[in-house]
Structures are given as structure tokens and as C-alpha cells.
Structure 1
Amino acid sequence: MFRNYLLISFRQLRKNLLTSGLNIAGLATGIAVCLFIAVWLERELSYDDFHPDGDRIYRIVNTFTSESESFSQAPSGPALGAQLPDNLPEIEAACRYFDGAGQLTVGDKKFFEEDIQIADSSFFHFFNFPLLQGLPGEVLSEVDQIVLTESLAKKYFGNYDPVGQTIQYGEDEMLTVSGVAADPPANSQIQFSAIIPMDYMYRYAEENYGGFNINEMWVGGWMYTYVRLRNPAEWQESEVRVNAVVAEHSKEAWEENQMSYTYALQPLRDIHLDSDLRYDLPSNGSRARVWMFGSVGLMVLLLACINYMNLATAGALKRAKETGIRKVVGARRSELVRQFLTDSVTMVFLSTAIGLLLFRLFLPAFSDLTGQTYQFAISWGNVLILLGFALGLGVLSGLYPAFVLSGFKPVSILKGSFQRNPEGVWMRKGLVVFQFVTTMVLIAGIMIIRQQMSFVQSKELGYQGDAVISVNYRGFDAVNRQMETLRSELLKSPAILATARHGGNVVGGLGNDWTTTENLEGEEISTSAYILSADPDYFATYGMELAAGRFFSGSIATDSTKAVLVNEAAVRTFGWEKPENAIGKPFGKGDNTRRVVGVVKDFHFESLHKPVEALVISFARSGSRLSLRVDRANVKDAVRHLETTWQRMLPDLPLDYAFVDSQVAEQYGNEQVMGTLFLLFSSLSLFIACLGLFGLVTFMAEQKVKEIGIRKVLGATVSGIVALLSRDFLKLVLIAMLIAAPLAWYFMERWLQDFAYRIDIHWWVFVLAGATAMAIALLTVGLRSLKAAFTNPVESLRSE
């Protein structure tokens, strides 16, 4: 029996090639889009699920509160990870790590590595990062050890065994490779290329900070601290006890500095999608983005299914006599339902095969677009999932057409009176409206996203970042010792107009520090503020402007030790009312007191997702970065001169530089990718909707072939016939526009709330989105209508 159903299905496919082609094209496109979004969602939703004890691991985060501000941050004081397991029995273990990016050197191979982490010796016991060589309890047990990932080991040692080999870290630290770890998986929030033991930091602090023990430092935000609870069901009680223990040890410091911290336990598996804290991990995603793209994928698939339902029910007339005769000769309704469901499932299986082919073909391009590598293995598991998906989709999309077609009464069918039943017509109209509502929401969404990204790219940031090169030398003494000579050599090229030394970067965020100042009444204020160090040439190099006072001056000796600058946000934060009132205000106490000599106009050192906050700028007597303003007309000459000068003066130090405007663009990489994907998906949804519209107009033209022929004989014009076939569809598109506008406004308003600086949504965006969809619909309908209108009426009437 099933074989007969299948044969009939294939006969119907061959008999109705146009309708079948439209259905398969729409479904295949929708399935390919769903597969792309599925692999992206699988990556985003699976972050950190490979840790066996992941449900018991929490990160300790905190909210800092002072007299003038409050903010939440991801890192905490070092003492928490060192002492909480001894103070609280419910904490089974703890592990800390922080950024130790620096230069690694093996022979003539010298590179800056960004993902070096300094971590507790328990790192490979606490987290499930497999070691390919070495034992978890031994590889970080000595102060001069280092563990490399497999890819980094090959980078420096090739195919030689790296264990036991020596590698230079920084300018003079010699470390021994004690182990090789597998590269962290892509769905890990913790990314590293090398791990150095925390004992290294203990020794560094003792040698450089007068014997300071970092494990006694309870306040501040420094290290990422993770704890493993014995009973995760009691995490809220554990959080209360953590706060009590920290408050007990920090009480004196809090009272002295008029500040406090409130700590929270953040589940490991929630960090990637649900964390947006200051100094958080750069790899974090967004649950809102997951819901957004999941919804888009579902909508595109729904559009494809609706196309099938529309075309199948609209094509009922072609199979009306077949259905009626089969009922007359004894066919049961259940048999007809099975036949029509077989038609649907067959169609979906063919579409799934083509969709999978498109997916595999374009997967490398999708990986390039998103900046992440995605793979899809043809395994038995994946094959079964696809087969189940195709079967389920085929049944769901075929249920309505099957019951509609099988429900016709034989007498009505053979008389032809069932054609006057309006239920199928209204159902098809409702589905067309849904298609275009979805499409217009996506069109409006992409227009608003592109406007916001254009606003971000064109907004004045308070500095001139174009034609500025930022060199990150990470504070190496070899550079600082030769800084003046280096700058003199660089300025010998007419392509380099100015240079400046500074600590911290104007792009990507700055560090913060605790300090004290005074309000207008002379009362002391304790606060935290962002910090930046800069030399007198920094402000001219970046084209910054003053709101009051003056910039640093190299000719005023006290500027290097007793002067600071602040931004306008600091004036607001500290209640100084206007920039002029900030001049002379103190920062710090006693011999360390420095006074404000100038107020810089606000500039954005964070992305536009965040507002500009209080910033204190000190005089840079050393630094970690060098910025160069270059002649726009001779950028290549400037870069060439920088490279040759650096190689001549600092041959042992890799040159790491980037253009500031490109760094600004990288800040919005996720939004740019999202905008591109939205453009792609909205285009595909419009394509699918137009396929369905084209099929429906074709069906309508076939049903009205006699009417069109008679109208032409009686003198109807081509434009009149096109209008006849187009009028009803354009009404549906207009209705869709009225429904889509408030929906698009709601969703995009929520997306824009993530930006501290954003555009306003204007009414004309929705009109333009609707007009775009209407124009495309009119083009689609018009092209098919023209064919019907130009058909010779003799042929139309002869067909009867």
C-alpha cells in the first residue's frame, strides 16, 4: 500500500513541476537556514557543559558601592579563592586565574601571546581541560613551570617533544614546559594558550611589592574566582555565608575607605549568555541574541511550511475529481489522509536532502562570516535527527492540506460547487498575511540595525582615531628605556606626525582604581574611577579637547607627580556642577595628593553600549603603549618606517600594532555579524514568501483562464488584467504592514535598550519596510499576471 502511495506522490511531483519546484525551493531554503542557526545555537547553548562538575561550579562576582557610584564586576579579590574553602565547609574547592598575556621566546621565535593565564595549581583538577602530557597535580606545582596547549607547543617546538624544554616569558623569566594540554574547546568561556602557576605571582609580588602577600587582599577586582560547592541546591545559603566571611575580613578597609562589596555566586553554565559585568570575559554571548536568531530560524521555516500549505490547498481543484472519484469507489477518508501525508513527507524529504546539500556547501562561508569554525559530521546520530526532523515537518506541514482535501464531499466535488466554499480562501489569505508580517518585521529589523551601526560608526567619540597607530609593547623596560630615542627616530619620517606614550588603550575599556577627592563643600569622597596615564603629547595625538584648565606640560616639573586631569563625567559624578569647579580638586591623601589641572571633554573609552564614566588621567612617566598619528596620504610609508625602526632598535621584541579605527570597528563585531545575518535571513524570508505568492498567482491565473480570455475579447487591457490579479494580494500586503509595524517596533526597541547611545526609531522605517515588501510582492504578482494577460484569448477559450 505504501508503495502505491509513494508512486502516486512522485506522479504528482512530475505532473505539477512548477508547484513542486516552488515548494521544494522554499522548503529547502528554510531547512538550510534552520541548519545554519541550529549549529550556531548548539554552540551558544552548550558553553561549559563539558565540565563533569559544572552544576557545582560557581563564579564569585561582586558589586562595588562607594559614596558616588556603584557597579558590578566579574573579578574579585585574591583572598576569596585562597581562604574561603578554609572558612566555609560547604565550599569544596576554589580556583583562580587572571590574565598574564606576554611575550614567549624560543630561539628566534618571538611572539606576544594574548591568552596566557596565571592560575592556581589546582586548575587542571578543578576544570576538565585534558592534559596530553603531564599529570594534573604536578604540571603547576613549581614556580618556574608552564603548560602549553597543543597548538602553542607546535608553534614553538614543531614536532619535537616540548616537555622539559625551556621557554622565555617576558624579558628575562625562564620557565620549563611541564605539560601539554588539549586546546580548549570552542564552547569554553575560559580560553588559554598557556598556563603559568600562581606561585609565579606570589614570587613577583614579594620581590616587587615589598613582600606583600596577595592572599590577604580581600578588596578589589583582580582575579576570576571559581568555587565548587558540595551541595549546589544550597547555593543561596552559601552566597549569604560568603558575604558574611568577606565582610568580617574587610570591615576595617570598607570603613576606612567608605566603600563596600556585595558578592554573588554565578553558575558556571550561565556565564556565557547571562553575564554582562564590568571586566567580564570577551567571549561572552547574549541570551537575547540566542532567542532572536532562534525565532528567526523558526519563522523562516514556518514561512516555507506555509508556502506548502498554501499551494497544496490552492491546488486542491486540480485533484478534486481524483478525490471525488476515489471516494465514490469506496476510498476511506483515512486512506486519503495517508496519501496526502505521503505527498507532504515525500516533498519534505526531497527538500531536506537539497537543504542539507546547500548547508554543507555554504557552511565554510558561514564560518567565515561569524568568525567561528563550525562543522557538521554525517554520523548516524545526525542522520537519524535529520530523518526525524523531515518526518515530523512533513506530517505537520501536511496535516491541514490532507484534512482539507480529504474532507471534500463527492457530490460537491463532481458538481463543482465546493469551489465556492470561502474557508480555504480565507485560510490562504491569512497565511499570506502571516508570511508578509514576518518578512516586514525582518526588513524593518535589518534597517534599524543598520541605522544603529551607522550611528555607532559615525558618532563623534571625543577623539580622532583615524590615521592613528597604537603599538602595544606591554610595558617592556627595553622600550621605556629607549623611548625618547625611539620617538625621535620615528618622527624623522614626514609620514609620522606625532607620537605619544601612555598606559591603557582608548579602545576596549580601561582599568579602575579606588581614590578619594572632595565635593564642592570640601567634604571627602571615596570612590572608584577609571584610570589612564598619558604624556603631554597624548591629547594632541588623539585630537582631544579641553572643557576647562590645561593639558599636561613637559615644562612644568610638578605635572609628572602632582597633577591629574579628569573628564566631564567625573565633574558630574563628584557633584562639581561645572568643569571650572574641578580645577584644583585633590585626588589622594598626604604626600600622594595630586590636583586637577584640567578637564578633558568626554571621550568614549568603552563601547557605545555603556555610558562615559568618571576618568582620572595621570602623567605617564612610563607606559605600555605608543600611539602614532600618521599622514593619511602616506600611511604605507609610516608603517614601513615604524617596522624598520622597530626592527633596528628593538630586534628582540615583536612589533604588535593596530590602527585605532579598526580596533573601534572590532568592538562592534557581534553587532556587525548580527546585522549581516539579519540581512541574509530577511532576504531569504522574502524569497520564500515570493515563491509562495508566485505559486498562488499562477494558480489563480489558471483558474481564471476563461475569464481572462473573455475579458480580452471584450477589450480589456493588459494593465486591467494585471490589476485584477494583483488587487487582492496587495490588500493583504497592506494589512500585513499594519500588523508588522508595532511588532517590529517592540522587538527593535528592546534590542536598542542594550546601547547607552542609540538612534530613535522613526515611523518612516516601517513605511519603507512595508513599501519594500509591497514593491517586491507587486513585482512578483505583476510578472506572473503579465504572462496570463498576454496569453492569446483563443488558446484560453479553446482550453475549455
Structure 2
Amino acid sequence: MPNATKPPRSDRSAGAGPRWATKLLAWWGHPDTREEVQGDLLELYTYWVQTVGKRRADWRYSLSVLKLLRPLAKPKQSTVRRFDEYPQPFSMSPAMIRNYVTIAWRNLNRNRAFSAINIVGLSIGLATCILISLFVLDELSYDRYNEKADRIVRVYFQGSMNGGKIKEAVVMPPTAQTLKQEYPEVLEATRVRDGGVPIIAYGNQTFKETGVAFVDANFFQVFTLPFLKGDPKTALTQPNTLVITEAMATKYFGNEDPIGKVLTIKTANATCTVTGVVDEVPANSHFHFNFFVSMASEPDAKSPSWMTSSYFTYLVLPKGYDYKQLEAKLPHVVEKYMGPQLQQAFGMSLAEFRKKGNDVGLFLQPLTDIHLHADFAFDLSPAGDIRYVYIFGAIAVFMLVIACINFMNLSTAGASKRSKEVGIRKALGSLKGALVNQFLTESVLLTFLALVLAVGIVYLALPLFNDLSGKQLTFNLMAAPWLLPALLLFGLVVGVLAGSYPAFFLSSFKPVTVLKGSGSALRAKLSSGGISLRSALVVVQFSISFMLIVGTTVVYRQLQYIQTTKLGYDKDQVLVLQETWRLGTNETVLRNQLLQDARVANATVSGYLPAGPSNNNNFMVYADDNTSQFVKTLRYEVDEDYIATLGMKMVAGRNFSKDFGTDSTGIILNETAAKAFGWGKNALGHTITRPDNEGRKASYQVIGIVKDFHFRSLHERIAPLVMTLGSNSGYVIARVKTKDIAGLLGSVEKQWARFGVEAPLDYTFLDENFTATYRSEQKIGRILGLFAGLTIFVACLGLFGLATFVAEQRTKEIGVRKVLGASVPNIVRLLSADFLKPVLVAILLASPVAWWAMSQWLQDFAYKIDLSWWMFALAGLMAIVIALLTVSFQSIKAALMNPVKSLRTE
């Protein structure tokens, strides 16, 4: 009604208002109030004419009519209040929440078996998620402790020669200084060179150390390593100075002040003064050094050569600067500095070099990408793999999804037990929102109980998981203030997601249908809303389980293939004595003593192993004075016994021999190198020339071709390799023909001690080195197998609970069938078939996905197994057998029940 004081009734002759407005009210006004409203408007209109004039009265009348038309008009309030108009308490008030929790606890306690199934399944799923989250967060955190992490990039070398690709994390010695001079956007440039495994002494203490590096003086201005003693700006400006970590300071000097103390690097015959002590390098760093020696102590640090690569080079760029802009300028550096030296060494310009299908270039990689996105032949530490981060993340999600599906399935399957509760609550006035809150509270309460159990599982399982993953993960709620709130939020989200469908499904029951009893309408509701979804969820569960079984099978088969494939050499019964270069000239003496031992079949001295760490010796050569046909190969310097000791086979020509004095200029190719030069088995007699960057040349004549052997990981194809006769030291390798390994090692240790070497004898076996090459794959296989087993267990747990519910619901049906003559096998087959169908559908749907995923994983191997149908058939059979075994217990139990008892069941 318009805001006006109602005047006393007056004569209506003052006017009836605009006729169009009166007709509009008659047509569109509410039929129940139209006459009453029109009478009131006419009285007001008469009053308005008398007080404000006819024109303004017409406007007021018309506007009032428009406001009173439907749907703008408000319905007339009844004086009698309906039941549902009484005020409802706020659904999330403290009193209501207490009520939700009380009822939820009673329901969980009443259905202990199914609550236990849900809690165990969810706790395993949550524990898996927490463990994998710790793993993923650790992988993603690498090098981010550096204050300039988002501004640091590493320079790497990439090229191609004769169809072979080259990608190395090390670049040429002058790269850092050149880029700093050429481009003002390079604020800092620093280098690192791996120092190997030297012997370091202080007084009477002598240790073989790892983690030694030569670094530029500004290294600590680039990387964040807090100084505990010394000045980071001046610590490494002078030659023969070094900075050590706190652990090394304690190891060598105890409680003494290490500053000014002198350490002797015996293998380099150098003494270095300690000028600083830094905190430990974090575990999530792509390098792990304990000794930082000044680069000024390195003889090759000032080399002008652009033809050798041995320095890891890092640049600091301005904030917000896109490193791709600088990377686009690097071809200019290659042309300006590398081009002339290439011309001098090979007699061709860089343009001619590229015209022949070859290429060289410098590129940049952000520091934070190094750990997960580095695929270089040589690096400061083993890299991670972003694909495994994705795989484990997917497993965590899959596990949680399966656990949540269990909860949904068991909740909807048990809907008939709670249907009367829902009907009575609604009949007594409970709103749907309050029922939804009640069921969500039960879900969240159950999830928090599972979360408490999951935290306990994580604490117990973390040491095992660290062993499997090779990490040092920690889980401390007190040390990380954000962890507890994150876990609580995680539990709340999981509880709401898992309980959402059951909550809305159960709260949708109609009181009339429910309270009439188990009528057809209720059964139809439970059937259409529950069974179809439950079947779909079982399909999802076993699709995931099937894919994990396939993945585990393929990983196992690939690892088995690696262990059993023909490598081109015999890795068994080969003893490798390490770091024998410490013996000097006695290295050959030790080999000769081994040859005199009846337990040794053969022995050789070399710095090269076909498995495990070896010297990196690239060899740029061209064929028969044809400088246009050159190949980048790897060179092994070996003696006359190398090939025989390692069990390699010659396919053409001969091995090196002491009977031929000209073998010092002879060369042996592997089959791949012979093909790269275009000679094949006709390579014998051809000449290979190696130029250096000063224009000098050394020529070799091909005397033999050795059968291809795998001298690198099976991830990589066999590359061109040449062998020359030389005395490159590092290892004494012996083929053993005795089972008395302990006795042989005892003799070797005595011989080693006679030489007076300060370092203890270090040895390994070639097959152990080979196995270590694939430690990452083995680790992934073990973790994948563990999580696959847990996933299948959780899925079966839910299937068992579901089978129990179904058996209870069909108790009367089973009794009737037995009375009518059905046998126990028939009933078991009937009950099991309902669960077998979704499992078969899961296998059909998951097979293409599993095939694609494992094909992608195998692409990382140059030598790999073929995916066979039997792997998928085996995985499918395992899934079916596991499902049948899971449901058969309840099926047999239900089938064996006395029919009299079955027919009495309410």
C-alpha cells in the first residue's frame, strides 16, 4: 500500500481514477484481493484529488496500481500460522552441533563393523596422501632455499653431431666471464668444478672425502650458505684457500678455531688454508659439497678454450627479468668465440659445420628446474624426475578416491537401515538442511578419527618410506606450525567430499513413503539411486587397482629385462679395485700380482668401466683426412687385457697385442662408431684423425671392431666409442674364477698394505655397479608395488563391507531360493555375479589408459620390453580373483544360512 494516512471515507464522485489503470488492475490484480484493493485505491484517489490536485492524483493512482500487480504484489498474511512457519533453530548453532556430534557418535558406535571398515580404509588413504605429499613437497622444494632462487639460471651446452644429440650441464671455462662482460643483465656469474674424491689430511688424520668442489670467489654471493666464520666476500679470493662446512670443521679440528688452519689435499699435492666455515648444504640442493676450494687454485680455470666443457656455470639475473631474453642472445656468443676455434680445429666455419646437419649452442635453465627437469649425461648429483612426482601425486589422489568411494558405497548401501530415522525426523519437522548437516557431521567425525589413526601410521611408516625413497623426510607437528591446521582442513574437506552424496541421498527420502514400510517406492528409490551409483564407484575403484597392477607388472618386467639383457660384456665375477691410481707405478705391479694368483682368470688396469662411474673423455675425430665427416665419440684408453677381462667380443680385426709395436697408433671401434663413419665391418685399415684447438693432429689406424656393449644406462642408445692403447689408471679390474672371494680379498688387502697407501682398499663388483645404475627405477618399482598393494587392500575392504550389506539385504530372498531348491553354489554364483560385472567393466575401461601410461614410461628407455597382451590378462585375472575372494566369504556365509532363520529376518 502507498505510504499515506488513510482519510475518512468520502464521496466517490470526486473521480474514479484513470480508466486504463483501473482496467489493468481488474485484469492482472490478484483475484482474492482485487475488489478490496480497488476500493481502498478509490478512497485514496478521492483524498489525493482534494489535497494535491487531479493531475498528481492520477500519477499516484497509476503508480500504486502498477505496484499492486502480480508478481510485485505481496500475498496477504494469514492470521493463522502454519506449522512450518514456527521459527527453526539455526542449523549450525552450538546446541545443534552438539546434537549432530552426539547422534553421529551413537550411529558410528552402533555400526562398529562398518565404521571400522571406513576408518581403516580412510586412515590408509589419508596416510598415503600425507606420505606422498611429503615426498612431492620435498621434490618441488629443491634449491628454493636460495634467496636468489628465482633469479639464478644455469648455462648448459646442447648440440648434435652426425645425428647424435649432445646435452651437457658443463660448459667451457671462459663462458661465465664472457657472459658477464658481454651482457649487463648478467649481475653475477660463477663457476663450479667437481673436485672428485681426494685424500685430505690434517696432522695425523687422513680421510677420503666426497663433496669437494672448486668454486669462484663470488660463489657465496650467488648461493645462500650462511657463514658461521669468515668473510664471504674475501674468503676465496686467494689461491690455496678453502671454505668448509661446520661438520667438517668439527671432524678435523674438534673445538679448535678452524680459521687459519691448513688442510693438505694429498691427491692434488696442495695445501689450502681454511678461510671460512659455512652451515651445512641443505638436503634439498642439487649439489652437496663439504669443501669449497678457491677456483684460483685450479690450473685450467683461466683456459681460453671453447672446445672443452668441464665447468658448471651459474648466472644471476635482475628481478622480473625473463631469462629467455638472454638465451636468445647466446647464439652471438657461440659465433663470436666458439666459431674461430672450431675453424682452427676442424678447418671449417660454424656455418659450414651447421650446413652439414650439426649444431652447437648454449642455453639456460632456471635453478629451480634443475632437480626435476635435468636430463644431462653428467651432473653434480642424480636428478629427480617430474614424471614420478606426477605418478605419485596421482597415486595419492587415487588412494583417497578409493577410500572415499568406500564410505559412499557403505553409506548408501545402508540407507534402508536409516530410512525410518529420516522419515520420523522429517515428520517431526526436521528440515532437509538439518539432515544434511547431521550426515555430514557423521562423515567429518569419522574422517577425523581416521586422520588421528593416519598420523600414527605416518609416524610408524616414515622410516620405511625413507628407506624406499632414499630421502630424509620428517613429520613433526610441533616443528611446522602450519602442518596441524593444514591436516585439520584436509580432514574437513575430505569428510565433506566423502559424505556429500550420502548426505543428500539419505535426506531426500519422503516421510510418507518411508513410514509406510518397505514398499515398492522405497525399494525403487534405493535401487535407482544406490545400486547404479555403487556399481559405478566399484568400476572406478577397480579401474585404479587394475592400472596399478599393470604398472607394477610392467616396471618389474622392465627391471628384469635390464638385469638379464645381453650387455655385450660379462658383468659377473668381476672384482673392481677402486682408486688404484693412488699406487702410482705400483698399479701395474698389483695387476701383475693378481695375474699370478690362481683364483684370478685375467686382470687389467683402466680408468673406464662399462657400468658405474668412469672417466669422461670425449673424442672429436674425422675419417681419412675428410674433415667434413667427423664424429664425436667417447674414448677408452685401455691395455691389451681390457677386452678379454670384461668378456667383450671382437667382430672384426684383432685386439691390442704386445706383439705389435705399432698398436700405440692403432684404434678399435665399436660397431656403432664404424656405422657412424659409414664403414661398417669394412672399417679395418681406415684412418681416424683427432685435431686439437691449436691445430695439431693425431692419427690412428683402425685395427679392430668390438661388438657393441652397453657402457651407459639402457635409457640411452649405444653411442660411438673408440679404444686406444694407453695407461689410463683408476681401476684394477680382475675376472675371478673362485668362490673364495673373502680369501682373495684378504690377499689383495695385504698386497695393498705393502704399498704403504694411506687410504684403505676400496672395492666393488661390476654387477653391483650395474645394479646401482638402475637404483632409481628399482626404488620406483618398490614404492609403486607398495602403494598398489595398499590400494587393492583398501578397495577390497570396501568390497567386503558392500558384500556384507548386500547379503543382509537379500537374506529373505536367499531363504526363499533355498526353500525352492537352489543349491549353495547357485546362490554363491548369484551373489558374486553382481560384483563381478563392474570389475569386468573396470578392466575393459582401464586397459587402454594403462597401455598408454606404460607406453609413455617405457619411452624413457632406449632398450625396453614390448607391452604384451598377457600382462593385461594377468592383471585382469588378478583383479577378478581378488574381487571373488573378497566377496566369496560373505556369499558363502549367506548361502549356508538356515532358510528358517532367513525367512524370520525383519
User: What are the ranges of 5 or more consecutive residues in structure 1 without an aligned counterpart?
Assistant: 206-212
Give the structure-2-normalised TM-score. 0.84
1:191 corresponds in structure 2 to 288
Q: Of 535, 549, 559, which aligns to 1:443? A: 549
What code does the residue aligned with 2:715 have? H
In 2 relative to 1, CA 181–582 (structure 1 residues): closer, same or farther, beyond 3 Å? farther
Query: In angstroms, what is the RMSD of aligned CA positions?
Result: 1.8
In 2 relative to 1, CA 160–647 (structure 1 residues): closer, same or farther, beyond 3 Å? farther
Deviations 1:679-701 (A, max 9, x none): 11111111111111111110011
Q: CA deviation at 1:128?
A: 0.7
2:503 corresponds in structure 1 to 402
| Alignment partners' CA distance in 1, 2:413 and 2:577 | 66
The within-5 A match list for 1:171-320 is 171=267, 172-201=269-298, 204-205=299-300, 214-256=302-344, 257=346, 258=348, 259=353, 261-320=360-419
2:233 corresponds in structure 1 to 137
Q: CA deviation at 1:793?
A: 2.4
1:538 corresponds in structure 2 to 642
Q: Of 707, 722, 727, which aligns to 1:621? A: 727
The within-5 A match list for 1:140-539 is 140-171=236-267, 172-201=269-298, 204-205=299-300, 214-256=302-344, 257=346, 258=348, 259=353, 261-379=360-478, 380-415=481-516, 416=518, 417-421=521-525, 422-473=528-579, 475-476=581-582, 479-508=583-612, 511-518=616-623, 524-539=628-643
1:580 corresponds in structure 2 to 682
The within-5 A match list for 1:619-698 is 619-698=725-804
Q: CA deviation at 1:389?
A: 0.3
In 2 relative to 1, CA 251–651 (structure 1 residues): closer, same or farther, beyond 3 Å? closer
Bigger radius of gyration, 1 or 2?
2
What code does the residue aligned with 1:414 have? L
In 2 relative to 1, CA 773–405 (structure 1 residues): closer, same or farther, beyond 3 Å? same
1:708 corresponds in structure 2 to 814
Deviations 1:379-402 (A, max 9, x none): 331111100000111011111110
Identity %, equivalent residues: 38
Deviations 1:717-739 (A, max 9, x none): 22122112101111111111111
What code does the residue aligned with 2:283 have? A
Which deviates the most, 394-403 or 276-285?
Answer: 276-285
| Alignment partners' CA distance in 2, 1:591 and 1:732 | 72
In 2 relative to 1, CA 136–157 (structure 1 residues): closer, same or farther, beyond 3 Å? same
In 2 relative to 1, CA 504–109 (structure 1 residues): closer, same or farther, beyond 3 Å? farther
- Cα contact 1:69–1:573 (8 A) shared by 2: no
Deviations 1:456-482 (A, max 9, x none): 111111111111122221744xx2311
Deviations 1:201-243 (A, max 9, x none): 1xx34xxxxxxx7342223321111111125534222112232
- Cα contact 1:490–1:645 (8 A) shared by 2: no
- Cα contact 1:495–1:637 (8 A) shared by 2: no
2:168 corresponds in structure 1 to 73
Q: CA deviation at 1:505?
A: 2.5
| Alignment partners' CA distance in 2, 1:242 and 1:474 | 42
| Alignment partners' CA distance in 2, 1:13 and 1:175 | 70
Q: Of 171, 190, 211, which aligns to 1:115? A: 211
Which deviates the most, 607-616 or 171-180?
Answer: 171-180
Q: CA deviation at 1:514?
A: 4.1
Q: Of 95, 101, 126, which aligns to 2:190? A: 95
- Cα contact 2:440–2:499 (8 A) shared by 1: yes
Asked whether 1:604 is paired with 2:703, we answer no
Q: CA deviation at 1:114?
A: 2.8
Pick 1 or 2: higher relative contact order, CA cutoff 8 A, min separation 6.
Answer: 1
In 2 relative to 1, CA 79–397 (structure 1 residues): closer, same or farther, beyond 3 Å? same
User: What are the ranges of 5 or more consecutive residues in structure 2 without an aligned counterpart?
Assistant: 1-95, 354-358
| Alignment partners' CA distance in 1, 2:487 and 2:442 | 18
| Alignment partners' CA distance in 2, 1:174 and 1:538 | 36
- Cα contact 1:219–1:250 (8 A) shared by 2: yes
Q: CA deviation at 1:253?
A: 1.4
In 2 relative to 1, CA 316–68 (structure 1 residues): closer, same or farther, beyond 3 Å? closer
| Alignment partners' CA distance in 2, 1:558 and 1:167 | 45
- Cα contact 1:586–1:595 (8 A) shared by 2: yes
SS in 2 for 1:304: helix
- Cα contact 2:591–2:605 (8 A) shared by 1: no
| Alignment partners' CA distance in 1, 2:250 and 2:867 | 51
What code does the residue aligned with 1:565 have? I
Asked whether 1:720 is paired with 2:806, we answer no
- Cα contact 1:501–1:620 (8 A) shared by 2: no
Q: CA deviation at 1:113?
A: 2.2
| Alignment partners' CA distance in 1, 2:220 and 2:126 | 41
2:68 corresponds in structure 1 to none
How many equivalent pairs are there? 786
In 2 relative to 1, CA 146–40 (structure 1 residues): closer, same or farther, beyond 3 Å? same
| Alignment partners' CA distance in 2, 1:583 and 1:16 | 86
SS in 2 for 1:593: strand
- Cα contact 2:619–2:690 (8 A) shared by 1: no
Deviations 1:580-605 (A, max 9, x none): 32443223257621222111111111
| Alignment partners' CA distance in 1, 2:206 and 2:731 | 19
- Cα contact 2:619–2:635 (8 A) shared by 1: no
| Alignment partners' CA distance in 2, 1:790 and 1:371 | 51
2:21 corresponds in structure 1 to none
SS in 2 for 1:233: coil
Deviations 1:95-124 (A, max 9, x none): 110111122123444333232111111111
| Alignment partners' CA distance in 1, 2:209 and 2:683 | 44
- Cα contact 1:99–1:116 (8 A) shared by 2: yes
SS in 1 for 2:329: helix
Which deviates the most, 769-778 or 367-376?
Answer: 367-376
What code does the residue aligned with 1:305 have? C
1:569 corresponds in structure 2 to 672
Asked whether 1:557 is paired with 2:661, we answer yes
| Alignment partners' CA distance in 2, 1:195 and 1:469 | 33
What code does the residue aligned with 1:57 have? I
2:87 corresponds in structure 1 to none
Deviations 1:597-644 (A, max 9, x none): 111111111100000000111212241222121224122222222222
Deviations 1:480-508 (A, max 9, x none): 31123222333343323322111232224
The within-5 A match list for 1:789-800 is 789-800=895-906
SS in 2 for 1:455: helix
| Alignment partners' CA distance in 1, 2:186 and 2:697 | 43
Runs of 4+, deviation exceeding 6 Å: none
What code does the residue aligned with 1:530 have? L
Which deviates the most, 158-167 or 675-684?
Answer: 158-167
- Cα contact 1:6–1:343 (8 A) shared by 2: yes
| Alignment partners' CA distance in 1, 2:580 and 2:789 | 45
